[in-house]
Structure 1
Amino acid sequence: MSSIPVTDSASPSLSRWIFTILVAAAIWILAYTHLTDFADLVVSLIGLERGNHTAEAVHFFIYDTPKVLLLLTGIVFVMGVVHTFFTPERTRSLLAGRAAILNYLLAALLGAVTPFCSCSAVPLFIGFLSAGVPLGITLTFLVAAPMIDQVAVVMLAAMFGWKIAALYFAFGIAVAMTAGLILTRMNLEQHLEDWVRNIQHGTIAASSNEIRPSWTERFDAAWASVREIVGRVWPYVIIGIAIGAGIHGYVPAEFMAQIMGKEAWWAVPAAVGIGVPMYTNTAGVIPIVEALFSKGAAMGTLLAFMMSVVALSLPEMIILRKALKVKLIAIYVSIVATGIVLVGYIFNMVLRGETP
């Protein structure tokens, strides 16, 4: 690869890139901060009234599709620039400089402070992979990001007390770290799609034996990553969110209340089984949890349901399918779901007798 010297910092190409990035960033922020207004407008223009199943499904789709695509484009571009500074080998060596368990804890904590739903976390997950971050650590982040966030902790504390909020946070971190550690032990990198592995081992990166790329080259490489990754993933985003919108709009709340209010041993796995295909964020699912709790559902069962809804969703799996092979997705879902079921049983034992 031919390199433009770093001293070319005032070149017309770089000036055009800086101008383009500033304009694009302004448009990105404007669009992202007005997604709800846009969805409200579309729903009203097509004659639907918020509150019925169809309107809620349409609103969800109109809001979430551009949200995920905006995140995907922005994150992939930023991580594409980062990738030009770090080869996969250098990234792994940096991560190896600390105790392994600390890397998983940091990934889980990063997920906990990142306000993403399961589908919104996928772009950053792909960006981490492309920068050479090991698969197990990226999967730890992918579990923690949607499952735990500050809004959920505060809302749970306000509705049910800090004991439940603290347990939710601690067990969420534990599930994410355990899943990542187990998946690392299984050496599943061969189940990444070929194009992801090709990006991981790409040659556009700085090293001690090469002339460092100029900023123009870094931006060119980042835009190439956007075209490559977004170009492959966007149909899966639309299909996945369309399915999620349908489920979101037609949630069988009465049926769920009947299942989760039972004391039978199968109530927790049944709640997780119901939750996995669904798709919403923690702020969206907590009011459902509160309503079901008021009808007598066990708290452990409800929190297992909430974790499964936000950490594992059918739309997320559809989007991930473009980056991960089916076997890896199945293993990932099985391990995380098993961990959530165990957490549900533990919650029910610890919180036994805590009913409305």
Structure 2
Amino acid sequence: MINKVFKRKSDSVIWIFLLVIALLVVYSFLPLIVDSLVYDLMGVDAESHFGKSIHFFYYDTMKILILLFLISSLMGVINTYFPVERVKSFLSSRNLYGLQYFVASFFGAVTPFCSCSSIPLFIGFVKGGLPLGVTFAFLITSPLVNEVAVAMFLGMFGVKATLVYVVSGIVMGMLGGYILGKLKLERFLSDWVQDIQQQSAVETEDWQGEKLSFMDRLPSIVKEGWSIVRSVLLYVLIGIAIGAAMHGYVPEDFFAERLSADKWYAVPLAVILAVPMYANAAGIVPVIQVFVAKGVPLGTAIAFMMAVVGLSLPEATLLKKVMKWPLILIFFGTITLFIILLGYLFNIFLC
């Protein structure tokens, strides 16, 4: 439908602004809309388990998809004016005084990749000869912070928790990349990568973009935002459906008893349990929302989410192409420690 709207270039900008206004109006009245849909039109009992689940599903689905589309389009603007080649060229500069770690981490935050889909770009950076610590800064942040997670966090936990989550994810990428870079781990790169690095030079050509105005770029940016929504729609629906079932049917104290704040081991236990449970942010954020609703501290729930999206067995398998096992274990161990520390910090500052 959106693609049809943009067929006529002369009307596309008008349609975009009308669409944004309509989405903002719907978002403002979303609680009333969902209440009327579920309780009045469908006639579902608000106090029943099914009623709580179905209301959770409709409300969160509509809220998350609206926020996801708007934030994905906004991130599309950033990605359009800071493309991969320009970032790569910038990161190849020498006299940046540590700024390259922030740029790589920030770039990881604004790119819509999960842990597995960010690895091809990570491989390209490594093959291109970028410092290993800088590439790690990107790889750490990329799956943890992206527009999908930000949109869902904003809708579910509010501005404060979202800012803490985003800033901590970027800082963790910077510190992790810096520490791993200082360890001089290049010898643990795979022979395949080392051979390529010896044969190739770093590309430092300036990026030459098309001279298009913002209004000319806007239709393609919004269409890209819509394509991101479509690409994660199934994960969003599955994640919210799981969360809805848990919200309506799981006893209130089930999670609180196992991951409560008074148990010192709750955060590391949550991280360890999360590693085999690979999913992207779209699928796991609705689940941790239910964790919090059931009594799990927000910091523990966020640590669980970070471990799910940032530490996975499929990721380790893909990394084997560019790293030897000692480097993979060092990388996973460092990030695991950081996530556990962040979980404790989240519980202090977000409670």
Class of the TM-score when normalised by the shorter of the 2 chains: 0.5 to 0.7
Whole-Å separation in 1 of the counterparts to 2:134 and 2:118: 14
Once the two structures are TM-superposed, the CA of residue 322 in structure 1 deviates from its matched residue by 1.9
Structure 1 segment 21-170 matched on structure 2, within 5 A: 94-100=92-98, 102-170=99-167
Counterpart for residue 328 of structure 1: 327
Whole-Å separation in 2 of the counterparts to 1:149 and 1:341: 20
Once the two structures are TM-superposed, the CA of residue 312 in structure 1 deviates from its matched residue by 1.2
Q: Does structure 2 conserve the Cα–Cα contact (< 8 Å) formed by 1:91 and 1:133?
A: no
Counterpart for residue 175 of structure 1: 172
Q: Does structure 1 conserve the Cα–Cα contact (< 8 Å) formed by 2:128 and 2:202?
A: no
- SS of residue paired to 2:117: helix
Q: Does structure 2 conserve the Cα–Cα contact (< 8 Å) formed by 1:91 and 1:132?
A: no
Whole-Å separation in 1 of the counterparts to 2:290 and 2:311: 21
**Cα separation, partners in 2 of 1:293 and 1:190, compared to 1, 3 Å:** same
Whole-Å separation in 2 of the counterparts to 1:273 and 1:256: 16
The letter of the residue matching 1:130 is K
The letter of the residue matching 2:112 is P
Q: Does structure 1 conserve the Cα–Cα contact (< 8 Å) formed by 2:255 and 2:296?
A: no
**Cα separation, partners in 2 of 1:206 and 1:259, compared to 1, 3 Å:** closer
- C-alpha distance after superposition, 1:65-111 (max 9, x if no partner): xxxxxxxxxxxxx99xx7xxx9xxx988x4213112x1000000000
- SS of residue paired to 2:116: helix
Once the two structures are TM-superposed, the CA of residue 164 in structure 1 deviates from its matched residue by 0.3
Q: Does structure 1 conserve the Cα–Cα contact (< 8 Å) formed by 2:128 and 2:200?
A: no
Whole-Å separation in 1 of the counterparts to 2:203 and 2:149: 40
Whole-Å separation in 1 of the counterparts to 2:202 and 2:129: 11
Once the two structures are TM-superposed, the CA of residue 319 in structure 1 deviates from its matched residue by 0.9
Once the two structures are TM-superposed, the CA of residue 284 in structure 1 deviates from its matched residue by 1.0
Q: Does structure 1 conserve the Cα–Cα contact (< 8 Å) formed by 2:137 and 2:177?
A: yes
The letter of the residue matching 2:284 is V
Whole-Å separation in 2 of the counterparts to 1:206 and 1:317: 28
**Cα separation, partners in 2 of 1:305 and 1:124, compared to 1, 3 Å:** same
Counterpart for residue 281 of structure 2: 282
Q: Where does the alignment leave 5 or more consecutive residues of structure 2 unmatched?
A: 1-82, 205-238
Whole-Å separation in 1 of the counterparts to 2:186 and 2:255: 37
- SS of residue paired to 2:295: coil
Whole-Å separation in 1 of the counterparts to 2:168 and 2:203: 39
Cα RMSD of the aligned pairs, angstroms, is 2.7
Q: Does structure 2 conserve the Cα–Cα contact (< 8 Å) formed by 1:91 and 1:131?
A: no
- SS of residue paired to 2:199: coil
TM-score in terms of structure 1 length: 0.58
Counterpart for residue 341 of structure 1: 340
Once the two structures are TM-superposed, the CA of residue 350 in structure 1 deviates from its matched residue by 1.1
The letter of the residue matching 1:97 is N
Counterpart for residue 265 of structure 1: 264
**Cα separation, partners in 2 of 1:136 and 1:150, compared to 1, 3 Å:** same
Q: Where does the alignment leave 5 or more consecutive residues of structure 1 unmatched?
A: 1-77, 208-247
Q: Does structure 1 conserve the Cα–Cα contact (< 8 Å) formed by 2:267 and 2:300?
A: yes
Counterpart for residue 193 of structure 1: 190
- C-alpha distance after superposition, 1:102-132 (max 9, x if no partner): 1000000000011000000110000101111
Whole-Å separation in 1 of the counterparts to 2:203 and 2:154: 47
Q: Does structure 1 conserve the Cα–Cα contact (< 8 Å) formed by 2:190 and 2:321?
A: yes
* Percent pairwise identity: 42
Once the two structures are TM-superposed, the CA of residue 201 in structure 1 deviates from its matched residue by 1.5
Whole-Å separation in 2 of the counterparts to 1:268 and 1:313: 17
**Cα separation, partners in 2 of 1:205 and 1:261, compared to 1, 3 Å:** closer
- SS of residue paired to 1:119: coil
TM-score in terms of structure 2 length: 0.59
Counterpart for residue 24 of structure 2: none
**Cα separation, partners in 2 of 1:291 and 1:124, compared to 1, 3 Å:** same
Q: Does structure 1 conserve the Cα–Cα contact (< 8 Å) formed by 2:122 and 2:135?
A: yes
Aligned residues: 223
Whole-Å separation in 2 of the counterparts to 1:268 and 1:151: 24
Once the two structures are TM-superposed, the CA of residue 151 in structure 1 deviates from its matched residue by 2.0
Once the two structures are TM-superposed, the CA of residue 257 in structure 1 deviates from its matched residue by 6.4
- SS of residue paired to 1:118: coil
- SS of residue paired to 1:153: helix
Once the two structures are TM-superposed, the CA of residue 261 in structure 1 deviates from its matched residue by 3.5
Once the two structures are TM-superposed, the CA of residue 205 in structure 1 deviates from its matched residue by 7.8
Once the two structures are TM-superposed, the CA of residue 258 in structure 1 deviates from its matched residue by 5.0
Counterpart for residue 313 of structure 2: 314
Counterpart for residue 291 of structure 1: 290
Whole-Å separation in 1 of the counterparts to 2:202 and 2:124: 15
